[in-house]
């Protein structure tokens, strides 16, 4: 039955056989949304009390949920394994798919270089341009290859396989610098990376000895000032300490060390006899250089 009724907001329409949507009562003044805020508090409380007592009675309108009985076929090992999972490792988590698998706790970079274009980067860019021209694409598709800086950072365990590979190619086999992780790597190591590729490494034996054991740049990434930058950061992290090294007598790296002010203080005959291949063109004799600070 519809009843036209005048209220203080103007004419409102009532449908008396509808129920109140607040307290489920059938009072006329609370049947319409329009009067929700007019619903008397005492009336609402009364209805809440009534519904609570109804819940307790045998005529309860709530259908009880059937209790879940544990299956007799539960594999205890599976349950134990599930209970032992505390958290998902970052490398296999969904967030790593969004953010990349680089671990969230990587150290802050020592330096980020967006300007340097190494011979390898230039070559790859030319290959892509050539491909685009050859395949008739006037617009290069950059979505496949994103620009990235050369990042200088300190040695991390995940760098070690690539570092060992680089040092083996440049010097000799069997080099293992894993123990550098034990000697304050923040002061004694600098790694140059491009995306996930290790392109250069500079290592001091320890912050106490400050003897440069290895300095190397990956083929294709040389002559782009990477060694110079690594040396600069290594020296600046060890101020007020003399830095020493040995360099093969005919190694052009002498020019690099000269730029930093290293001076020869000793000529050691046969220094590399035990390391270098007998057929190597590198001199087995070495200069010992020192940078006084």
Ligand X SMILES: CC(C)(COP(=O)(O)OP(=O)(O)OC[C@H]1O[C@@H](n2cnc3c(N)ncnc32)[C@H](O)[C@@H]1OP(=O)(O)O)[C@@H](O)C(=O)NCCC(=O)NCCS
Where along the sequence are the contacts to ligand X (CB under 6 A)? 170, 215-217, 222-228, 245, 247, 251-253, 255-256, 259
Least distance to ligand X, CB of residue 170, Å: 4
Least distance to ligand X, CB of residue 269, Å: 17
CB 34 within 8 A of CB 41: no
Give whichever of 17 and 274 is closer to ligand X, judged by the CB atom. 274
Please name which of 180, 214, 221 lies closest in space to residue 198, comparing C-alpha atoms. Answer: 221
CB 3 within 8 A of CB 25: no
CA–CA separation, 224 and 122 (whole Å): 11
Please name which of 241, 242, 238, 149 lies closest in space to residue 202, comparing C-alpha atoms. Answer: 238
Give whichever of 204 and 217 is closer to ligand X, judged by the CB atom. 217
Least distance to ligand X, CB of residue 230, Å: 8
Please name which of 151, 154, 224 lies closest in space to residue 163, comparing C-alpha atoms. Answer: 154
Give whichever of 155 and 226 is closer to ligand X, judged by the CB atom. 226
- Work out the number of other CB atoms within 10 angstroms of the CB of residue 285: 16
Give whichever of 47 and 229 is closer to ligand X, judged by the CB atom. 229
Give whichever of 86 and 279 is closer to ligand X, judged by the CB atom. 279
SS3 content of the chain, % helix, strand, coil (to 5): 35, 20, 45
- Work out the number of other CB atoms within 10 angstroms of the CB of residue 200: 25
Strand partners, 113: 150
Least distance to ligand X, CB of residue 286, Å: 9
CA–CA separation, 201 and 214 (whole Å): 7
Give whichever of 216 and 291 is closer to ligand X, judged by the CB atom. 216
Least distance to ligand X, CB of residue 214, Å: 7
């Amino acid at each position: 039955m519809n009843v036209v009724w005048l209220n203080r907001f103007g004419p409102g329409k009532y449908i008396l056989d509808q129920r109140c949507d607040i307290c489920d009562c059938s009072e006329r003044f609370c049947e319409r949304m329009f009067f929700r805020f007019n619903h008397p508090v005492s009336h609402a409380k009364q209805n809440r009390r009534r519904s609570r007592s109804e819940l307790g009675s045998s005529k309860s309108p709530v259908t009880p949920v059937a209790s879940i009985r544990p299956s007799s076929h539960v594999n205890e090992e599976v349950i134990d394994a599930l209970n032992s999972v505390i958290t998902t490792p970052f490398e296999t988590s969904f967030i790593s798919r969004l953010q990349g698998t680089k671990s969230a706790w990587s150290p802050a970079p020592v330096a980020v270089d967006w300007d340097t274009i190494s011979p390898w980067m230039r070559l790859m860019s030319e290959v892509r341009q050539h491909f685009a021209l050859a395949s008739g694409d006037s617009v290069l598709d950059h979505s496949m290859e994103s620009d990235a800086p050369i990042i200088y950072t300190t040695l991390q365990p995940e760098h070690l396989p690539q570092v060992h590979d680089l040092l083996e190619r440049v010097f000799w086999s069997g080099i293992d610098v894993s123990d550098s992780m034990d000697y304050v790597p923040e002061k004694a190591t600098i790694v140059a990376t491009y995306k996930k590729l290790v392109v250069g490494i500079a290592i001091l034996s320890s912050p106490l000895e400050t003897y440069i054991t290895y300095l190397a740049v990956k083929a294709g990434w040389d002559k782009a000032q990477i060694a110079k930058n690594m040396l600069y950061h290594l020296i600046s992290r060890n101020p007020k300490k003399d830095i020493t090294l040995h360099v093969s007598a005919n190694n052009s790296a002498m020019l690099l060390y000269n730029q930093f002010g290293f001076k020869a203080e000793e000529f050691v005959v046969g220094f590399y006899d035990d390391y270098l291949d007998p057929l190597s063109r590198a001199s087995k004799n070495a200069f010992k250089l020192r940078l006084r600070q």
